[in-house]
Amino acid sequence: MNPDFYTDYDHGITAIDTGYHKPQFDASHLIVRDCRAAFVDTGTSLSVDRLLDGLQRADLTPADVEYVFITHVHLDHAGGAGLLMQHLPNARCIVHPRGAKHLVSPDKLIAGTMAVYGEAEFHKLYGDIVPISASRVVESADGACFNFGDTTFELIDTPGHALHHYSIVDCASHSVFTGDTFGVSYRIFDTANGAFVMTSTTPTHFDPAQLHASIDRLMSYEPEAAFLTHYSRVTDLPRLAADLHLGIDQYIEIARACADADDRIACMKTRMHDWLAKRLDAHGCDLPDDVRDAWLAMDIDLNAQGLAVWLDRTGG
């Protein structure tokens, strides 16, 4: 059990590095309260051993897990849910109503992800995707509350990144678990100015108006911290929310500027890279360019694809 995979926070919250793509890129969050456990997002099927080790590290067994919360069914968040559930005899998997069918019958989700990454890269990144019995999947309505020991989690609909996305309000820790709705924030970009956050517009459901509204809804709870899947705890949320709103508007401007380009994906990637590089400079990030570019590359590529789908769907 590698201690570098686990970061402990107050209120029984532990970030588990799922090992997806690179270190401190993708997190599952283990919440332990009153000798009961819940996971928020799972990483991929290749991540399950680390999550089970996290239980052992907390002196718990798989039988102690009550919930597996899936913020949305993109496979870096939910790909391991089926295999993990096979190890958790008492757990229920909680998912957005639009995503439930994809956990029970994941073929369409697998095909869609393969279309983005290609078959060889898909298997390298995600392993085998295991379906979950419908009897163990619970669809969560907007505003539904789930009791967890002396804690109540409120699940709220937060579309914009995906139509099948909810976030979790945890009043006990004054926090929200936001999947990708509150963007991505890699710890490698932290400076004396704090965390650096990027809007996430990956395919296929990006909707700027919905995402603006979802960020505002999260902030209406006045959380002190947000736990992002990419990557874990951030604070100073009013500043980060303003940065996310700015990012949404800037990405739309980039998409429209590139709409008629011969290679609009390449055009958007170049413009997005240049804008993010300037933002990192202003944030005080002094990492070498090749390191910064390696961390930005996947998000820039997926964001450009998401903007292209949005252009096709709406005409910009």
Task: Look up residue 254 and give its two tokens.
Answer: 């980039």
Per-residue model confidence (pLDDT) at position 112: 80
pLDDT (tens digit, 9 = 90+) per residue, 77-107? 999 999 999 999 999 999 999 999 999 999 9
pLDDT (tens digit, 9 = 90+) per residue, 169-221? 999 999 999 999 999 999 999 999 999 999 999 888 999 999 999 999 999 99
Cβ atoms 136, 86 nearer than 8 A: no
Per-residue model confidence (pLDDT) at position 277: 98
Q: Is 226 helix (H, G, I), strand (E, B) or coil?
A: strand
Per-residue model confidence (pLDDT) at position 49: 97
Strand order in the sheet with 13-17: 6-8, 13-17, 27-33, 36-40, 65-69, 92-95, 137-139
Per-residue model confidence (pLDDT) at position 74: 93
Q: How far is CA 242 from the centre of its chain?
A: 19
Burial 191-203 (b: 16+ CB within 10 A, else e): eeebbbbbbbbbb
The position carrying tokens 């709705």 is 181
Which amino acid type is present at position 167?
S
Task: Look up residue 297 and give its two tokens.
Answer: 């590359």
Q: What percent of the chain has pLDDT over 70?
A: 100
Radius of gyration of the chain (CA): 19
Mean pLDDT by 10 residues, the chain (316 residues): 92 98 97 97 98 98 98 96 98 98 92 83 90 98 95 97 97 98 98 98 94 98 98 98 98 98 98 98 98 97 96 93
Per-residue model confidence (pLDDT) at position 203: 86
User: Rounded to whole angstroms, what are the CA distances from 263 to 45, 253, 266?
Assistant: 35, 16, 6
Question: What string of DSSP letters covers 82-121?
Answer: HHHHHH-TT-EEEE-TTTHHHHHSTHHHHHHHHHHH-HHH
Per-residue model confidence (pLDDT) at position 126: 92
Burial 285-312 (b: 16+ CB within 10 A, else e): beeeeeebeebbeebbbbbbbbbbbbbe
Per-residue model confidence (pLDDT) at position 149: 86
Tell me how far apart the alpha carbons of residues 316 and 309 are, in angstroms, rounded to a whole number: 10
Tell me how far apart the alpha carbons of residues 41 and 70 are, in angstroms, rounded to a whole number: 5
Angle at 205 between CA 14 and CA 218, to 5 degrees: 45
Q: Across the chain, which distance is largest between two alpha carbons, in Å?
A: 58
Tell me how far apart the alpha carbons of residues 192 and 121 are, in angstroms, rounded to a whole number: 36
Contacts 24+ apart (CB under 8 A), 186-189: 186/24, 186/25, 186/230, 186/231, 186/295, 187/24, 187/231, 187/232, 188/24, 188/287, 188/291, 188/295, 189/280, 189/283, 189/285, 189/287, 189/292, 189/295
How many CA atoms are closer than 13 Å to the CA of 301, on its beta-carbon side? 8
Burial class, 15, CB count within 10 angstroms (exposed 0-12 / middle 13-18 / buried 19+) = buried
Count the neighbouring beta carbons within 10 Å of the beta carbon of residue 17. Answer: 23
pTM for this one?
0.97
